[in-house]
Structure 1
Amino acid sequence: MKLTTRQHNHPGRIIAKLAGSRLGSRLPNRASSPALVAVSRPAGASTMPPYLRLRLVCLAGAILLSACSTIDQPVSEPVTVREPVPVTPAVPNTPFADEPEKRTVYFGFGEARIGHEGVVVLSENALRLKNDSQLIVTLVGHTDNLGSAAYNLAVADKRIEAVNDKLRSLGVAKNQLRRLPLGSEQSNKEACDSEACRQTMRKVELVYERR
């Protein structure tokens, strides 16, 4: 028994135990030592305060949102500026407004008789008047520049009477017809000195308007 106890308490083992206990008592506490805390912290760990971290996170989020909105924004097409197109004035809404020959009846020298061509012209105008009761026509009588003013005025009035009667016989209402004998008052004696020119002055014009 004594031999077993001696082997268990061998001097070398006792010295090792004592050395280990002394070394452990000399090591500082890991929780209270700043050096140990610094050594145990992972390399590259941030020491930034929390409020700075929050600002950086918000800034990064704003940058990402602006980048997404820029990518999704459609590209606008270039605007083409068109020059205004000139507008051509419309022809007045009256029969033969731009065709005076189709609303003019010609007469012979000193005559008030309506020829065949005059009947055709009046027939076309009568049709227009009957189809549109809002139309009014003024019968303007002209003569050449030969003779006195009183004589020419009387001839112009007779020609208007003949045209008026013909239109009435073709069915035109009386309230659609007006009279205006001018005679030779608007004739240019200096410009018209040939028979061909005077022939164009012996006429009755139909001038239209609306009520």
Structure 2
Amino acid sequence: MTRKGLCSSTLSVLILAACAATLPGEPPALEPPSSLPDQAAPVVTDEQLISTVDIERNIFFARRSTAVDPAELYKLRQQAQRLLADPKLVVTLVGHTDDLGSASYNLAIAEQRVSSVYQLLRKHGVPRKQLLRYAVGREKVARACGSSECRAKMRRVEFVYPQ
């Protein structure tokens, strides 16, 4: 190794070591005491949860169903027209489910619902490059819904556009 290469390597090691060192007088990081109670998550009502769902940007599904209801096809066509009108626009199809069923079942049905919406958008002429898919199942639900109305609003594929 040349003298210049050796100096460069030594300097790099010294810089990295300095970055990793604790400064004198700097207190060590403290762990929170385990005796403190966990703060409870804020309670969200069914009505508050339902109000966060944009009706026009979601395709809703019946319980245990992956087929798009004929009443929801109008909204799907509107979304397809929006995408066809702007070829640079990309949408992420996000599949959600209610809190009933196992986590693996909910993830699987969310993926199937996203696939159903994806296929229908493709049939309406929307190019693949404008469609991204993501299934979250029930993991993104703030808490379990207590009413059938709330659960019905969670069984959906959401159209998420960039800001």
After superposition, the C-alpha distances for 1:93-113 in whole angstroms (9 at most, x for unaligned) are xxxxxx932221000001101
2:127 to 159, 169, 173: 173
After superposition, the C-alpha distances for 1:43-92 in whole angstroms (9 at most, x for unaligned) are xxxxxxxxxxxxxxxxxxxxxxxxxxxxxxxxxxxxxxxxxxxxxxxxxx
List alignment gaps of at least 5 residues for structure 1.
1-98
Q: State the SS of the aligned residue for 1:179.
A: strand
Q: Report if aligned partners of 1:126, 1:167 keep a CA contact under 8 Å in 2.
A: yes
Q: Does 1:164 align with 2:130?
A: no
The answer for the alignment partner of 1:144 in structure 2 is 98
List alignment gaps of at least 5 residues for structure 2.
1-52
Q: TM-score, normalised by structure 2?
A: 0.65
Distance of 1:200 and 1:177 partners within structure 2: 23
Measured after TM superposition, the shift of residue 139 of structure 1 is: 0.2
Q: Report if aligned partners of 1:144, 1:202 keep a CA contact under 8 Å in 2.
A: yes
Q: TM-score, normalised by structure 1?
A: 0.51
Q: How many residues in Structure 1 have an aligned counterpart in Structure 2?
A: 111
Measured after TM superposition, the shift of residue 186 of structure 1 is: 1.3
After superposition, the C-alpha distances for 1:143-176 in whole angstroms (9 at most, x for unaligned) are 0001110000000000000000000000101100
CA RMSD of aligned residues (A): 1.5
After superposition, the C-alpha distances for 1:14-51 in whole angstroms (9 at most, x for unaligned) are xxxxxxxxxxxxxxxxxxxxxxxxxxxxxxxxxxxxxx
Measured after TM superposition, the shift of residue 209 of structure 1 is: 2.2
Deviating above 3 A after TM superposition, structure 1's stretches of 4 or more consecutive aligned residues are none
Tell me the percent identity.
41
Distance of 2:142 and 2:83 partners within structure 1: 32
Measured after TM superposition, the shift of residue 189 of structure 1 is: 3.4
- Structural mapping, 1:54-133, within 5 Å: 100-133=54-87
Q: Does 1:188 align with 2:139?
A: no
Q: Does 1:206 align with 2:159?
A: yes
Q: Report if aligned partners of 1:137, 1:208 keep a CA contact under 8 Å in 2.
A: yes
